[in-house]
Amino acid sequence: MKISDRDKKLILFVLLVAVIALPIFLFIRPKNEKIKELDAQLVSINDRYNYLKELSEKQPEYEAKIAELNAERDKIIDDFPGGVLFENTVMFIRATELHFDKNFRATTMTFAEDEEETITEAKVNDNGEYVEGLTAVKATTTINYCGEYPEIKELLNYIFNQKDTMILSYVEMGLDPETNMIGGTIVLDQYAITGNGKEVKQTSIPSMEHGMTRLYDLILDEEGNVKTYWSSIGVKVDDAELTDDQGDDGEDL
Express each pLDDT in 193-223 by its tens digit.
998 878 877 777 666 555 555 555 556 667 7
DSSP state of 125: -
Model pTM?
0.57
Higher pLDDT, 140 or 5: 140
Q: How far apart are CA 180 and CA 47, in angstroms?
A: 77
Cα distances (Å, whole numbers) of residue 240 to 204, 209, 212, 223, 243: 34, 21, 19, 19, 5
Instruction: Please give the pLDDT value at position 123.
Output: 85
Instruction: Calculate the average pLDDT of the chain.
Output: 78
Helix (H, G, I), strand (E, B) or coil at 194: strand
DSSP state of 246: B
Q: What is the pLDDT of residues 81-129, one digit of tens each?
A: 888 888 888 888 888 888 887 688 888 999 999 999 998 888 888 788 8
Instruction: Please give the pLDDT value at position 242.
Output: 47
DSSP code string of 196-238: TTPPPPPP-------S---SSPPPB-TTSPBP-HHHHTT----
Instruction: Please give the pLDDT value at position 144.
Output: 93
Q: How far apart are CA 102 and CA 223, in angstroms?
A: 49
Helix (H, G, I), strand (E, B) or coil at 170: strand
- Ranges of H-type helices in the chain: 5-23, 29-57, 59-79, 86-99, 149-160, 229-232, 239-244
Q: How far apart are CA 105 and CA 100, in angstroms?
A: 9
24: confidence class by pLDDT, cuts 50, 70, 90: low
